[in-house]
Amino acid sequence: MLFDSKKEFIDDFSRRAIAKYGRDPKDIHPSEAYDILGTMVRDLATTNSKACKDSVAKNGNKQVLYFSMEFLIGRLLVPNMVNLGIFDIAKAGLADLGIDIKDLENQECDAGLGNGGLGRLAACFMDSIASLGYAGHGNCIRYDYGFFRQKIKNGRQEELPDQWLLNGNVWEIRKPKHAVVVKYYGNGETYVDQEGNIRRRTVNSLNVIAIPCDVGLVGYHNDVCNTLRLWTAEPSIDSIPENTSFEEYIAFVRNITHGLYPDDTTEQGKLLRLRQQYFLVSAGLQSTLRSHYRLYHTFKNLPEHFVFHLNDTHPILAIPELMRLLMDENGYSWDDAYSICTKCFAFTNHTVMPEALEKWPCNYIANLFPRVYMIIEEINRRLLLKMRQDNVPEAEIDNCIIIKDGMVRMCQLAINVAFSVNGVAGLHTEILKTETFKDLYKMYPEKFNNKTNGITHRRWFLVSNPELSSYVTKLIGESWIKNPQDGLKDLLKYQDDEEVLKNFNRIKRDNKNAMVKLAKENAGIDIDPESIFDVQIKRLHAYKRQLMNIFQIIHLYKKMKADSSFRIYPHTYIFGAKAAPSYIYAKRIIELILAVAKVINNDEQVNKYMKVVFIENYDVSKAQIIIPATDISEQISTAGKEASGTSNMKFMMNGAVTLGTLDGANVEISELVGRENCVIFGMNEKEASELRYKGTYSPWDYYNNNKDIKEIMDSLIDGSFDDDTKRFQLIFDEIMNRNDEYFILKDFDSYNHARAQIEKLYLNRLDWAKKCLINVANSGYFSSDRTIEEYNRDIWHLTKIK
């Protein structure tokens, strides 16, 4: 350990303060103190990292390389210190130096490496892989400006650069000696090598240097440290192609790492997304192959030492790129290269939404990466021949082939080549097998499997909710930290203990005080900690139905205004969401939430009973305040549309009660805790599918026959929430004239009744606390430790680092 005592910590901290900033610790700025502490923690992690790498090299451990366009890792200071077992010593040592560790925590920016659940899941997986003692590393792009920083101005979302790197990144180590060259454009050339073999190569390419910046991924109390490798783009020292100016070339390079998810409504944005995806996979694979060859001098054993896991569709170009590297750069035959690929790649699908099942115009790929496209064409040709030889019906072939209608279908590429394809919740995986990829499942039933998502309980309970997690440890011991699935169940013996239940309520009230402070600082709104905190925080998308939530709030508001005898128990409705810059409809929903909030919060007749808060620039750090304070977890997506969800798991683990549809992991949550400890409403997936298939649904039937629904819809265009009656016409039209795609009006009455039901449940405070305890006790199943052990058992087959 870097320091075994408080004195050692103080001595090292003081020495570093003088060496770097020329000042005593008492005189340095909190930002400087954070830099020093972060460097100390990073150095300890790096020492562990070396020992792990040495062990892997010596013992030949198999490793997983996890490719993802997002890793929403949040702040690392406290989780890293907790995992390293040095938090208490550091906190005490800093206090002796007159430094509050909280001040240093607040100096750290959330890393701009993700947007939503996909990136947060990847970060949780990395924590669990390291904490379970496996060798697993992430590959991502080092985005200069993240997704965007959300600013609410004049009742609208504005997008500003997320300058998360403004003060540097204390956790990364830049490693230019490990740089690789990524090639774009050019053309595929056939040539004869020195041994007379016909080979192909890429010539006349535009080259970009990819430089890795490594961030340590620290395991919990086990001296394991893996790596998150972030790739940054730099200009090549090679000559620029003749038809490209210096300015154009520099812009090309800079744009690759400029930001996450460029606007794909334009051709320029689509091409940039594709360039980013190729940059990530080419750099990661080249680096891995180079280090592997240095050890083994062959790639025939690559599947014995590596699994390349593709987190959703974005990294799927890794498959033809590995083929290219093996054949063009290392002389492997097609058959040998393809055999290696079919044993190395595993694929996780995260959605059934058609717009998220990536497909790219053939000419885009052929132009940007000519050799890669040639390889995709050949994979497709050979698959087509085999299917016809096997007498597969043409209709099924049509659904299984990779290239169709001038488009490369990325999921078809992954499923045909990878050895494993998994969904992320039981319902989601069944939809993949029976609907989305029905014919591919028929062809490769052995590839498909389910791995229900999970979250790292270390960040989302141990670190985020220290008062409750400490109390849980006091009750049942600390074994749950390393074995949450079984350990947390020991809480169930306290489910009828009145003192314990009262303490659960007290701790929730304490956590609400932090949320009160956040609401004031972030949104300028005073909220009542005695009110019910009803929360929906997630990416803004129509299928997640934030709109139904605000519709029900409008209904309650209108009802209270019309009937002075009708009142509800005080509620605080909390939203947090970003809408993609080009997603106009989602941005208009945010505007509606803000407009309704403005009216309600300023209405003295009503605001003692309800307030609406929209948290600006929702991120991981804010979630760590909001989630422990939440009473009701809104998980209200249209059944069959949410692959899994992970916020539902975080809320459950922190003692919130789920109000949701039978969608994604809500299904498993309801089964684990029992229907009496959550509130389920609305159509299930089968009912929603049947209604969609019949084509008989009309929102006008609900509008004309339900006065509450008519009042809500009319309020969008009658000036109730904005003098401009056209402002929310888009929302009205989307529901009424585009047939309410996500069945908001169909499920509204059920949702309205469910909200009334859950309010009644809340008012029985001891019984509510019992429900909260039962949710916490059963949440261990949703630890990403369980998920990773299942991935390893069925897909990766890693052995632990010794």
Rounded to whole angstroms, how far apart are CA atoms 578 and 586? Answer: 9
* Residue 385 · residue 430 · CB < 8 Å: no
Q: Where are the beta strands (DSSP E) in 106-205?
A: 136-141, 149-153, 156-160, 172-174, 180-184, 187-192, 198-203
Beta carbons within 10 angstroms of residue 373's beta carbon: 21
**DSSP codes of every residue in 277-308:** HHHHHHHHHHHHHHHHHHHHS-STTHHHHEEE
- Confirm whether 578 is a catalytic residue: no
* Residue 785 · residue 132 · CB < 8 Å: yes
* Plot region of 57 (φ>0 → left; ψ -120 to 50 → alpha; else → beta): alpha
One of 646, 658, 661, 787 is an active-site residue; which one?
A: 646
Rounded to whole angstroms, how far apart are CA atoms 334 and 338? Answer: 6
Crossing angle of helices 30-59 and 87-96, in 10° steps, is 150
Q: What are phi and psi of 211, to 5 degrees?
A: -110, 130
* Plot region of 757 (φ>0 → left; ψ -120 to 50 → alpha; else → beta): alpha
Identify which of 257, 601, 668 has the alpha carbon closest to the alpha carbon of residue 452.
668
Beta carbons within 10 angstroms of residue 15's beta carbon: 12
Identify which of 393, 388, 740 has the alpha carbon closest to the alpha carbon of residue 585.
740
Rounded to whole angstroms, how far apart are CA atoms 369 and 328? Answer: 13
Q: Which two tokens stand for residue 36?
A: 């020093």
One of 120, 229, 512, 538 is an active-site residue; which one?
A: 538
Identify which of 725, 352, 699 has the alpha carbon closest to the alpha carbon of residue 547.
699
One of 273, 544, 746, 770 is an active-site residue; which one?
A: 544
DSSP 8-state class, residue 455: B
Rounded to whole angstroms, how far apart are CA atoms 708 and 584? Answer: 27
Rounded to whole angstroms, how far apart are CA atoms 410 and 402? Answer: 7
Q: Which two tokens stand for residue 793?
A: 């058992």
Instruction: Work out the widest C-alpha separation in the chain, in whole angstroms.
Output: 92
Sheet with 359-361, strands from edge to edge, namely 359-361, 407-409, 403-404
* Plot region of 708 (φ>0 → left; ψ -120 to 50 → alpha; else → beta): alpha
* Residue 468 · residue 507 · CB < 8 Å: yes
**DSSP codes of every residue in 352-378:** --GGGS-EEEHHHHHHH-HHHHHHHHH
**DSSP codes of every residue in 608-632:** TTEEEEEETT--HHHHHHHGGG-SE
DSSP 8-state class, residue 627: G
First and final C-alpha spacing in the chain: 18
- Confirm whether 544 is a catalytic residue: yes
Rounded to whole angstroms, how far apart are CA atoms 171 and 576? Answer: 28
One of 447, 622, 641, 650 is an active-site residue; which one?
A: 650
Rounded to whole angstroms, how far apart are CA atoms 773 and 310? Answer: 36
Vertex 648 angle, CA 598 and 493, to 5°: 120
Beta carbons within 10 angstroms of residue 320's beta carbon: 27
One of 539, 541, 727, 771 is an active-site residue; which one?
A: 539
Q: Side chain identity at 727, as an amino acid letter? A: R
Beta carbons within 10 angstroms of residue 367's beta carbon: 14
- Confirm whether 770 is a catalytic residue: no
Rounded to whole angstroms, how far apart are CA atoms 423 and 436? Answer: 11
- Confirm whether 298 is a catalytic residue: no
* Residue 292 · residue 305 · CB < 8 Å: yes
One of 324, 350, 371, 458 is an active-site residue; which one?
A: 350
Rounded to whole angstroms, how far apart are CA atoms 235 and 252? Answer: 9
Catalytic annotation, residues: 350, 538-539, 544, 646, 650
